[in-house]
Structure 1
């Protein structure tokens, strides 16, 4: 890489290689006959890569790197930068992974960390202006992106199907009005029109990487096609009764837009178990942590205490999201012994309740 031409570096910059990532790559011990490439899709036993001159290739992960990733509980993700090259038989191998600038992670049903995407500049939080509209889900996505240090933009899609667009915009803005580090913007767009691309133009600079996050049927693939000015992703219908969509996107994939930005489309996230701690949750809800010192009681839980400045200032929906996520993190962070103790307590209470019911009924 240090010997690469300026033209070569410029071409890599169009794939999102910024100054910090260049420094990370330069610090690696480069194996012979390898080049810097970006992961654009992860498959079961291969990754799809894109390098300078827009040359794409399919590659396997070298055993040494695979073992190192496994030891760290990690895996390659869309957006990663790697060093890869062909062997004597023309088979491409990923030999090394560059350190990430950031990554969006969640916990899978087994509680293990799963990296969704890496090295992202902006997250577009897509929410349909139909039955998909859900402020609690939006709060969850905002915690996810804030913990990763990734800027966010709320995109209310399907504006052409909603008669109360301005009211919905105002609802989101009011919900987040006290946030000091909330989303950079809240926009309403029609993903099928070029105007959607124009609305998002400030975040579509050459070399910028954007990821679209949202539920199935929110309009992410439609917006991806619009931003890339091509039919790259299949789109599906949604049920009329609840606006639930089919999973038309089954894998995360990175695409180049004509403007030079990199767009990562993702499958709908039906479940998003956060991979954050209590401190990161508090920082994401900086409207609550900022108002808390004004509460009458220092240890105010912002639930039913008198003189609660938080409850007086924020919407009930915003506060409900915070308490729900707090409880969720509390459950996840309990030790097995603590979980067993609580289970025993629940069983004991249930048994006592049954005894009281039988006593009252004369049984």
Structure 2
């Protein structure tokens, strides 16, 4: 109905301009809103006040011109009224709402949907908890927000992909594998120390018991390195399966589960580092490889490859976001915990360095209350 009144006003204004009743030749950016009080009708517009300056007439005089032309134009309008400084109030017939009811019945769950985002691909990446332990309430908050946002964007016509980024590379995974390995040995009766820096959760004891039931004592007979690799893979799979089950129970689903490891398997990270070197965006200092993020809005340059030759999370994260754009997404939305607020400028700087507009990435921070 609001759109009907907007179109009605546009038609009448253009006719008034053509007839010489209005001098202006362009429509103002007027609004049609629902008044706060029902005494002022169902809808109201400020168009007369916006025309007053160019017409050099009081807004109420302009409103009178428009009302005289609006009378009888729509079988949906019961009466028109000029109020205040020059508002035009529309009182609609009861029958005007009946068509909307028919539309609701016909369109069902699609009523109110739009095509605002047609032909635009948007990725919403959310939750993305490390597969080193169960989800907690903070992850649940991010899951609810990400899922709701993805649904709204889909309803608005965007082509939305929900993605979960699996951080399955780095020290946290090695610590996970070692933690499970030591718990496994403890259950077998071995006297082993359990360092404070490893994962202390009792969930690993449960996983270790299941692993012992499945494999017996064979893992204890393997070389330690091989045993830890096996334990890492096993723990990550069990934990990730549990995460998926929890999210499914919560009613949250993902279109894609993207493994960080694939960025190394297909050399995406290495190619990115080589590109930065060739473009003069990276330099070596103090035995490490640095990215010139300070030239693109970050407070300082950032390390991509450490002294020991291992890449930082930042390096793989840049490669990951570059991969998102290569998949054709025009808008990327990341939902992170508030503890990552300091990470936003450096990632934005990296994408800026790669030629992406600032509007291409939006980071939403979730704060526990």
- TM-score for both structures, normalised by structure 2: 0.28
Q: Judging by fraction of residues, say which structure has more helix.
A: 2
Larger gyration radius, structure 1 or structure 2: 2
